[in-house]
Structure 1
Amino acid sequence: MITRFSFPTAIHFGPGARRLVADHLREAGCTRPLIVTDKALAALPLLAEFRSHLAGLETAVFDGVFGNPTASQVMAGAAAFKAHHADAVIGFGGGAALDVAKLVGVMAVHAGDVMEYVWDHPHVRPIAIDLPWFVALPTTAGTGSEVGRSSVVSDNVTHVKRVVFSPKLLAKAVFADPELTLGLPPAVTAATGMDALTHNIESYLSPAYHPLCDGIALEGTRIAARALATAVAQPANLGARGDMMMASMMGAIAFQKDLGAVHSCAHALGAVADLHHGLANALMIDTVLAWNAEAVPAKFDELAHVCGVAGGAAAFVPWLRELKATIGITGGLAQRGVKAEQLPRLVELATADICHQTNPRPCTAADFERFFKAAM
């Protein structure tokens, strides 16, 4: 059964939703889509199977996405779009592929370099031209990029993550098919699942006023809390996979309310140590939240309640640590290759990151230094 609803964009949710893409594109008048995906996914039968449902369309594939999304990947994808004379973009993959896919559409019709469109560029260029038709199919349940109106891109030289933001980046339609996540290895399921959980939790803890997002974030937290361990332990459990895909979208919708210091740490770790974003969030979340708890105990009580954790606020962070161990995320930053000599740069980037401006407790460079040392 396919359920259709719109928040903030048209979403087709359910097993088999990927089979609806071709008809959707035809109805939109699109016949030459470019599929933007990552190198690893392009080599799997999953992409070939999806393309079989696009019969009658002249498709091409750009599979130049790998690791964290970079400006050079975006520009190469835009060149592929033009070479194919494409009229639509299909984002097919995890958060990196979807972020690149959004920006391929931008640079297919705009001049200059993609880094000139990041929101904090001193002479930021506007996204003034209507973008090519864009649809998104997530193959992981983590970033929720498929429902987002922003895209993260790393500078090729500094590796610092920057953000392009515009309502024009929203997909025309999302095809959220949990069957596309059935082949994810347990470690990827765990890391991306912790990303989704972190989005929901940090959105709820943000002091910004947005009751609509608070309700979505709490329900997203509840869904992820009940489903994540099952999705990791039982990879073929379609119910748990669907729950995590929904929790991922809910977290991305909720974080228009903004995030917190966990994400500032994760962005720094991605830039300095090239850590997977979801894993970076997972490695930092309990350390940062233990520090945040005393500032908003009532919110931590509510988080414990929706996660079914007995003991209230005091028990929530220990429960998170137990969940991480259950899904196989153990050890600290040092075990993931982060070195002590990288600490000053990590602190510098985390302090400069915008996300902690909506942390429930104000953060200084000294606080970030303590967080990273504690997580080592």
Structure 2
Amino acid sequence: MIFEFATAQRILFGCGTLRELPGLIPGTGRRVALITGSSAERVAPVFKALKECGAEPAAFSVSGEPTTDRINTLARQAREQQCDMVVAFGGGSVIDAGKAIAALLTNTRDLMDYLEVIGKGEPLSEDPAPCIAIPTTAGTGAEVTRNSVLLSPEHNVKVSMRHPKMLPTAAIVDPELTLSMPPEVTASTGLDAFIQLLEAFVSAKANPLTDGICREGIRRVSRSLHRAYKDGT
């Protein structure tokens, strides 16, 4: 059997791991594009952590599913502010946006040149800027994948920007960030996680490594989702 397994370069998992963010910012004076869909209050600890380690954060907001036009606009604004790194703090849509913006910081052609299906699907010519993904929901697993799913309203379709180098530099997976989710969001994102585990388990491309992850993940979701829906934990 021949198979490939690729994920984020580094994964930090556990309650309180958000505190490790400053140690992942190389050097001082980095201009960080902070991509978020959260309120100013919720993202304040991330902003503060970046400032304390000598970085200069510039906040960019993503509301709902990221559109191709919005990503082009945010990438241009981030380049104008000379951002050289991305931190994406939010759900799967925010992290998809962050990965795309990290790629477009160093690959400055129009987004359409890199999109599958509706675009040219061309590979990136330069490595993306470093990207740290901090998910605040379960579900998509966007923090450990090498594509960004974007909505094109013009074509009425979701498409991917995809490249092996688009894997995040690091993923901080802190379960404490999910405790404030409303029950309905816990239910929908938890079911999303379960379905993706099931799909991967029955996929024709399944392998012994993914099988082990899927079996354990399915067990954990099955025994924990109802409790998490009821009380957040």
Q: What's the TM-score once normalised by structure 2's chain length? A: 0.90
Q: Which protein, 1 or 2, shows the higher relative CO under an 8 Å CA cutoff with sep ≥ 6?
A: 2
The 3 A distance-change label for structure 1 pair 49 and 209 is closer
The 3 A distance-change label for structure 1 pair 7 and 107 is closer
Aligned-residue offset at 1:121: 4.8
Q: Encode CA deviations 1:301-349: one digit per residue, 9 max, x unaligned.
A: xxxxxxxxxxxxxxxxxxxxxxxxxxxxxxxxxxxxxxxxxxxxxxxxx
2: CA distance between counterparts of 1:57 and 1:227? 38
The 3 A distance-change label for structure 1 pair 215 and 182 is same
The 3 A distance-change label for structure 1 pair 59 and 111 is closer
Aligned-residue offset at 1:156: 2.6
Structure 1 stretches of 4+ with a deviation exceeding 4 A read none
2: CA distance between counterparts of 1:181 and 1:80? 30
Question: Greater share of strand residues, 1 or 2?
Answer: 2
The answer for the alignment partner of 1:62 in structure 2 is: 60
Question: Greater share of helix residues, 1 or 2?
Answer: 1
Could you list the runs of 5+ residues in structure 2 that have no partner in the other structure? 1-5
1:222 counterpart SS class:
helix
Say if 1:30 and 1:87, in contact at 8 Å, map to a contact too.
Answer: no
Across the aligned residues of Structure 1 and Structure 2, the Cα RMSD in angstroms comes to 1.8
2: CA distance between counterparts of 1:94 and 1:122? 25
Say if 1:91 and 1:101, in contact at 8 Å, map to a contact too.
Answer: yes
2: CA distance between counterparts of 1:69 and 1:217? 28
Say if 1:62 and 1:77, in contact at 8 Å, map to a contact too.
Answer: yes
Q: What's the TM-score once normalised by structure 1's chain length? A: 0.57
- Aligned partner of 1:45: which letter? E
2:121 counterpart SS class:
coil
Percent identity, aligned pairs only?
35
> Which of 45, 48, 58 is the matching residue for 2:44?
48
2: CA distance between counterparts of 1:170 and 1:122? 21
- Aligned partner of 2:26: which letter? R
Aligned-residue offset at 1:209: 4.4
The answer for the alignment partner of 1:225 in structure 2 is: 222
Q: Encode CA deviations 1:50-77: one digit per residue, 9 max, x unaligned.
A: 21222232111001x1222210121122
Matches within 5 A, 1:190-209: 190-209=187-206
2: CA distance between counterparts of 1:44 and 1:25? 21
The answer for the alignment partner of 1:112 in structure 2 is: 109
The 3 A distance-change label for structure 1 pair 190 and 90 is same
Aligned-residue offset at 1:7: 5.0
2: CA distance between counterparts of 1:157 and 1:121? 10
1: CA distance between counterparts of 2:140 and 2:88? 13
The answer for the alignment partner of 1:187 in structure 2 is: 184
> Which of 158, 169, 173 is the matching residue for 2:170?
173
Say if 1:46 and 1:180, in contact at 8 Å, map to a contact too.
Answer: no
The 3 A distance-change label for structure 1 pair 75 and 225 is same
- Aligned partner of 1:51: which letter? F
The answer for the alignment partner of 1:25 in structure 2 is: 25
1: CA distance between counterparts of 2:36 and 2:181? 15
Aligned-residue offset at 1:8: 4.6
The answer for the alignment partner of 1:94 in structure 2 is: 91
Matches within 5 A, 1:88-167: 88-121=85-118, 123-167=120-164
- Larger Rg over CA atoms: 1
Number of positions where the alignment pairs a residue of Structure 1 with one of Structure 2: 226
The 3 A distance-change label for structure 1 pair 122 and 34 is closer
Aligned-residue offset at 1:9: 2.5
1:26 counterpart SS class:
coil
- Aligned partner of 1:17: which letter? T
Aligned-residue offset at 1:30: 6.3
* 2:12 is equivalent to residue 16 of structure 1: no
- Aligned partner of 2:218: which letter? T
- Aligned partner of 1:62: which letter? F
2: CA distance between counterparts of 1:226 and 1:190? 13
The 3 A distance-change label for structure 1 pair 62 and 122 is closer
Aligned-residue offset at 1:189: 0.8
2: CA distance between counterparts of 1:14 and 1:225? 20
My pick for the range that moved more, 95-104 or 15-24, is: 15-24
The 3 A distance-change label for structure 1 pair 30 and 232 is farther
Matches within 5 A, 1:234-245: 234-235=231-232, 237=233
The 3 A distance-change label for structure 1 pair 209 and 18 is closer
